[in-house]
Amino acid sequence: MAIDAATVRKVAKLARIAVPEDRLEPLSQELSSIMNWIEQLQEVDVDGVEPMTSAVAAKLPMREDVVTDGGHPDWVLANAPKSADGFFIVPKVVE
Amino acid sequence: MELTNLTLKAALDGLAAKRFSSEELTRAYLAAIDAANPSLNAYVVTSHDKALEMAKASDARRAQGEAGPLEGAPIGVKDLFATKGVRTTACSKILGEFIPPYESSVTANLWREGAVMLGKLNLDEFAMGSSNETSAFGPVVNPWRAQGSDKKLTPGGSSGGSAAAVAADLCLAATGTDTGGSIRQPAAFTGTVGIKPTYGRCSRWGIVAFASSLDQAGPIAKTVEDAAILLRAMSGHDQKDSTSLNIKVPDFASHIGQSVKGLRIGVPKEYRLDGIPAEIAKLWDEGVAWLKAAGCDVREVSLPHTKYALPAYYIIAPAEASSNLARYDGMRFGLRAEGANLTEVYENSRAAGFGAEVQRRIMIGAYVLSAGYYDAYYLRAQKVRRRIADDFDTAFQEVDAILTPTAPSAAFGIGERVSDPVSMYLNDVFTVTTNLAGLPGLSLPAGLDSQGLPLGLQLIGRPLDEGTLFSLASVMEQAAGFSARPQKWWE
C-alpha cells in the first residue's frame, strides 16, 4: 500500500504533527516501505476469527464510584508550560 | 571484595550479615557510575543525594530490625517509570523537564521493600526502538566490544540503559519494560538475564504508556536468581491498573534449582529462519542438549503464524501509541512550541518534541485507525494476533515451555541500522510473539559468538508459569557456565 504525499499530509493533520512540505515526499517513502512490509498480513486466513483486544482474558474490575485522590492543584500545575492563579494558560480557543 | 561485582543475592546476604552497609554499597555504585557514564551514557539522571539519603534510611531501618526483602539494594530505574520528585522523560524532548508528583506502582513496591534508587536509565524514546539510538539523550554504548575492536556497539533497546548498567556493574539490577522485546533483546546483547512476565503481573500505573495491551515491566539482572528476586518485588496487584491481575505473587526464587526432569520443551520449527547466523543456530542446539541432559523431553512444535507477528505488531503497537501519545499536546506539561492558533501550537509542539521514529509510529497508527483503513489493517491485525495466541495455546497442550534464540544477531554497531526501519524492527522477530499472546518470556546469556559478543536464548512459558521458566533457566545457566564479563575499557 503506497502512502502518497497527500496522504502523509492528511495523516500528519490527524496526528497533529507539523510536517514541512519538503518532508512529505521522504516520509511518503518511509511509511510506504513499512506499509508494504505489513501488507503480508493480507495472506492470513482470518475468516471467523474473533479480534483479540486484550492480552489476558480477565474481567475488568468494578470499584466504588468515589473520589480516592485529589485536592492538589499545585501538583497538577507543577509541570505546566504556563499557568496562573490555579489555572492552565492555553492559547485562545473561542473566538 | 569489589562491592560492585556482587550479584543482588550476594549483596542482600552481605547486607544482612552486616559485612557492609547500604551506604557503602551505594557510594561504590555512584563512584562506578561517575567513572563509566561519560563513556556509556547509561544513566540520564543520577541522583547522588537521593540515593545516599535512601541508603542511610535503609541502614537505619536495618539497625532497627525492620529490614525489607530488598533492604539496601541499589537499583537502576528505566526512565519510563515515573519517580516522584525525580525527572522522568521517557527520553523524549516532549516531556522536557517533567518531574512527576507521583511514583509508579512498580518502583513504589521496590522502595517499600527497602531498595535504593541510583538514578534513571536511558532508553529509546518512549521505548520505541531496538538500539537505544532514538533517545533524546543520545545512544547508550554497550559495555561489550568485539575482540580486538573499539567499535561502539548498541546495547539493544529499548531498555538499553538498564541492560548496559547491569552488564557494566553500575547497579545491582534494573527495571525494564518490554512491549515487543525491549527487556529480552538488550539482555541478550549485554550478557544479562531479563524476563518479561505474563501480561498483568506488574502494574502499568505510572509507567509512561506506549502500547497498553503489550507493555509489561520486568527486571534485568546479572543472574537468573537475581531476576527472580527482583520480579517478585516488582509484581503484585494494583487497583490503579485495571489490567493488573489480582492473584498471589509466587516466590519465584524458590523455583531456582528445582528439577526439570520430565518437562516437555518445544522447539518451534518456524523460528529456524533463513539467514540466521550459524552460531546462533548452534547455540540453540546446545540449549536443547543442556535441557535433554537435565531430563527434559525436547520435541519440535509448530507456531505457524510466527512470520506474521511482527507486521501485526507494527499495526497494533503504533495504533495504541497514536492514541496514548495524543496526551502530549503542550498544554498541561512538557514542551510547548508557539503557533498562530491552538491547532498550530499542538502541531508545532508535537513536531518539535517527538523524534523521527516516534513521529513515524504515530502516523502509522493514525493511518491504520483512519476511516476506510480500520478494518483492512487494525481489525485484521487483531485477528492475526488471535491466531498467534491460538498457536501458543495449541503448542502448550503438548509442551510445558518453548526454547528459542532471543535475537537474530549479536549486538550491532551504533549507526549501522538506523536508516532502515524495517531491518531494525526485525530485531524483535523472536520476542514479539509473547507480547502479542501475553506470555512470559525469559532471556539468559548462553554463550559468546566468534567475536566474543554475548548471545541469548529465550524460554517462553504458559501464562503465569514464570516459575517453570526460572527452573529451566537456572538449569541452563549452570550448564552454560556463562562467566564472561565485558572488559572495563572505560575505567
* pLDDT tens sequence across B265-279: 999 999 998 888 999
Q: Which residue has the higher pLDDT, B142 or A64?
A: B142
Q: Do A79 and B329 touch (CB under 8 A)?
A: no
Q: Model confidence over B28-75: pLDDT tens digits?
A: 999 999 999 999 999 999 989 999 999 999 999 999 999 999 999 999
Would the pLDDT of B2 be above 80? yes
For B313-340, how does the pLDDT look when each residue is reduced to its tens digit (9 = 90+)? 999 999 999 999 999 999 999 999 999 9
Rounded CA separation B82/B80 (Å): 6
pLDDT at B1: 65
The reported pLDDT for the residue numbered A34 is 95
- Rounded CA-CA distance B197/B280 in Å is 24
Q: Which residues of B are catalytic?
A: 78, 158, 182
The pLDDT tens digits for B80-105 are 999 999 999 999 999 999 999 999 99
Looking at residue B484, its pLDDT comes to 95
* Measured distance CA(A93)–CA(B168) in Å, rounded: 51
Q: Is B408 exposed, middle or buried (0-12, 13-18, 19+ CB in 10 A)?
A: middle
Q: How many A×B Cβ pairs under 8 Å?
A: 164
**CA of A85 to nearest chain B CA: how many angstroms apart?**
14
Q: How large is the ipTM?
A: 0.96
Q: Which of residues 44-73 of A touch B (CB under 8 A)?
A: 44, 46, 49-56, 58, 60-61, 63, 72
User: What's the pLDDT score for residue B364?
Assistant: 97
Residue A39's closest CA among B430, B312, B365, B318?
A: B312
Burial of B227 per CB tally in 10 Å (0-12, 13-18, 19+): buried
Given a contact cutoff of 8 angstroms between Cβ atoms, the answer to whether B139 and B41 are in contact is: yes
Does the pLDDT at position B419 exceed 90?
A: no
Tell me if chain B has a CB within 8 Å of the CB of A31: yes
B419: contact with A, CB 8 A cutoff: no
Mean pLDDT of chain A: 93
Q: Residue B457 is placed in which grid cell? A: 536464548
Place of cell 470499584: A63
Q: Answer for the pair B195, B140: CB distance below 8 angstroms, yes or no.
A: no
B183 to chain A, minimum CA–CA distance in Å?
18
What pLDDT score was predicted for residue B274? Answer: 81
Amino acid at B476: M
What pLDDT is attached to residue B418? Answer: 87
pLDDT greater than 70 at residue B259: yes
Contact A56 B438 (CB under 8 A): yes
- The 3-class SS string of B161-224 reads HHHHHHHCCCCCEEEEEECCCCCHHHHHHHCCEEEECCCCCCCCCCECCCCCCCCEEEEEECCH
pLDDT, one tens digit per residue, over B120-170 is: 999 999 999 999 999 999 999 999 999 999 999 999 999 999 999 999 999
The answer to whether B179 and B435 have CB atoms below 8 angstroms apart is yes
Confirm if B310 and B426 have CB atoms less than 8 A apart: yes
Query: What is the mean predicted confidence (pLDDT) over B232-252?
Result: 96
pLDDT average, residue stretch B396-425: 95
CA-based nearest residue in chain A for residue B87: A79
Mean pLDDT of chain B: 97
Per-residue model confidence (pLDDT) at position B236: 97
User: Does A1 have pLDDT greater than 70?
Assistant: no
Q: Is the pLDDT reported for residue A2 higher than 90?
A: no
Task: Give bridge partners of residue B220 from the DSSP assignment.
Answer: B174, B194
Cα(A39)–Cα(B390) distance, rounded to whole angstroms? 22
CA distances to A88, B154, B165, B245, B459 from B199, in Å: 36, 27, 25, 8, 16
Can you give the pLDDT at residue A53? 86
| DSSP secondary structure string for all residues of B10-36 | HHHHHHHTTSS-HHHHHHHHHHHHHHH
Average pLDDT over residues A24-51: 96
